[in-house]
Chains A and B, each alone.
Chain A
Amino acid sequence: MIEVRDVTKRYGTTVALDRVSFQVEQGRILGFLGPNGAGKSTTMKIITTFLAPDSGRVTVGGIDVLERPLAVRGRIGYLPENVPLYHDMIVDEYLEFVGRARGLDGSRLRQRFEFCVDTCGLQGELKKHIGELSKGYRQRTGLAQALIHDPDILILDEPTSGLDPLQIIEIRQLISRLAGEKTVIFSTHILQEVSPVTDRVVIINEGQVVADGLIGELTERAMGDNRVFVGVRRAAAEVEPALRELARLSELRVLTTTDPGVCRFELRAPFRHDLVGAVAELAGARGWPLDELHESRYSLEDTFIALTRASGAKREVA
């Protein structure tokens, strides 16, 4: 649906994007992650035809952005990072203006207008000046503007920036509701925002794609293995040898403990292996009273840091 291939973009001597490639299939949501200044906005500006790439090719629904930009623009709803609002306009005037500028008219315009106002929860704000709106409502007005022509593709640049937690959840829910029907790319530098909405991410750092895939796969690749913490109310001398016998165990560390009756260990095993299950089974068979048994899940944050560090380190070596 959206295909970005080998896109390079320079601003003067700075390389903003360096051979960026990825694609998004129809009806999928892609989380576009990266630290500030990584090139997220630039990529989005190129997909939406606001900027032209220096080299490489971008197609949207098979249409090349450089060859037929107007056809591409017609299919895309775009919420730029700086929400493009006319502060001197009234909300309903503004949405009507964008609708008309996107070729809507008459009953179709009215129907889409009502849909967007409904979806974005703007009923109470329609007669207000945009300049008087709170940050949250401005963001929603921006989103309504991007949806007004019922585009099959949505490009949302940091749709949740500057919002409070409740508003963030609302925007997330809105994006999730669009899944399946629309192809969405949304960017963020806040990692926790991605996993509730989608599992497909592209991570970009210093203008290069450092990871592209499902969150789980990326975590596995970045971290290698799975950590489990076990605490048993028995003597370490009894427990440790039995734990060492566990299949596929790659590492065992004895941890210090404040309770003398309990021994604690950190175990590591390859990522997909169900180590917790194996330990629980062993404890059950031996009749050990378990004091603690949990898996330390790598967060997306750990993955992100590991991946962006790795790319930074590679660059320094090169």
Chain B
Amino acid sequence: MRSVGVIFRREFAAYFNSPIAYIFIIVFLLLTSVLFMLNFFLMGQASMMGYFGTLPLLLVFFIPAVSMRLWAEDRRQGTFELLMTLPMRPHQVMLGKYLAALAFFAVALAGSLPIPIMLNALGNPDNGVLVSGYLGSLLMGAVYLSVGIFTSGLMRDQISAFILGVMACVIMWLLGQPNTAAVIDGWLAGLGSMLQQYLGMTSHFEPMTQGVIALGDVVYFLALSGLFLVLNALWLEGRKY
């Protein structure tokens, strides 16, 4: 656990060592807030449904940008060899990196807190629903990040890691769309719905933005993240170069 903490601290600090982190946070907040505010006055509702509604697609592009450096950068600058010869297990290094990326995403997400504060000033939002929405966003981010850290390991440079990560996340997002599921169901009955259920996150995320925290959905997000982390750990143990 101590080892995970040491890696976590370095990786988390590394995000803020470069201007990219600040650019990322600003662009993320600007884009999500602008998309939200466009409709906010039309809707006239003290809720963040619209805000959370943009996240499944936006995170497809934002999360791989957070995770792309996790392994690719270490492999490019040679520090991968340092990390893999430290007296700790490879999966401890991986967890430290993953949690640091998750914490960074949480910081970016926390940057949107002025919105719920504004809602409370303007009207009477259901704060329980807002908390549930934030929890759902964090969990969804956790899944995308686990996909991203896995794809980062497969690539030696960050741009390829980013593109591969976006591709993987886009596929997951598409699988979650009812239209895609219907098309795949047309090819092989039941397959589309099954993929939508297991890999498409939207159906698990939407209830949370409406204030329903079902144990099943939380377990789903955690299990899916765990799956990609296990894949990443297997890759680390089995690498041959």
The chain A residues found within 8 Å of chain B, CB to CB, are 11, 45, 48-52, 70-71, 73-74, 76, 78, 80, 82-89, 93, 97-98, 100-103, 145
Contacts and interface: CB of A to CB of B under 8 A. Distances in A.
Contacts of B9: 97
B7 interface: yes
A70 B89 contact: yes
B113 interface: no
A83 B88 contact: no
Contacts of B89: 70
B10 A97 contact: yes
Contacts of B79: 84-86
A84 B87 contact: no
A254 B135 CA distance: 93
Contact of A86 (B6, B14, B86): B14
Interface in B7-47: 7, 9-10, 13-14, 17-18
A103 B87 contact: yes
A70 B78 contact: no
B77 A102 contact: no
A73 B87 contact: yes
Top-8 shortest CB links A-B: A82-B78, A84-B82, A88-B17, A74-B87, A84-B79, A73-B87, A84-B78, A100-B6
A89 B241 contact: no
**Main SS at interface, chain B:** helix
Contacts of A70: 87-89
Contact of B82 (A71, A87, A88, A98): A98
Given A82-B78, A86-B77, A89-B17, A50 B84 contact: yes
A202 B226 CA distance: 46
Given A74-B87, A80-B82, 16 more contacts: A50-B85, A71-B87, A78-B81, A82-B81, A84-B80, A86-B10, A88-B18, A89-B14, A97-B9, A97-B10, A98-B82, A101-B3, A101-B86, A101-B88, A102-B86, A102-B87
Contacts of A51: 240-241
A98 B7 CA distance: 10
Nearest to B81: A80
Contact of B85 (A49, A71, A88, A100): A49
B78 A83 contact: yes
Contacts of A93: 13
Task: Pick from A11, A86, A93, A100 the residue with the most CB of B within 10 Å.
Answer: A86
A89 to B, nearest CB: 7
A13 B96 CA distance: 36
Contacts of A145: 82
Contacts of B7: 101
9 contacts: A51-B240, A80-B78, A84-B77, A84-B79, A89-B10, A101-B3, A101-B7, A101-B86, A102-B87
Nearest to A129: B17
A122 B151 CA distance: 37
A139 B81 CA distance: 16
A80 B78 CA distance: 8
A82 B85 CA distance: 14
Contacts of A73: 85-87
B182 to A, nearest CB: 44
Contacts of B82: 78, 80, 84, 98, 145
A215 B229 CA distance: 50
B87 A48 contact: no
Nearest to B239: A51
Contacts of A80: 78, 81-82
Contacts of B10: 86, 89, 97
A62 B144 CA distance: 44
A76 B241 CA distance: 20
A97 B81 CA distance: 15
Contacts of A100: 6
B87 A11 contact: no
A92 to B, nearest CB: 13
A95 to B, nearest CB: 12
A88 B14 contact: yes
A263 B119 CA distance: 107
A181 to B, nearest CB: 21
Task: Pick from A76, A78, A82, A93 the residue with the most CB of B within 10 Å.
Answer: A82
Nearest to A105: B2
A151 B70 CA distance: 28
Task: Pick from A74, A101, A103 the residue with the most CB of B within 10 Å.
Answer: A101
B241 A11 contact: yes
B6 A97 contact: yes
Interface in B61-113: 77-82, 84-89
Contacts of B17: 88-89
Task: Pick from B6, B10, B81 the residue with the most CB of A within 10 Å.
Answer: B81
B72 to A, nearest CB: 14
A119 to B, nearest CB: 19
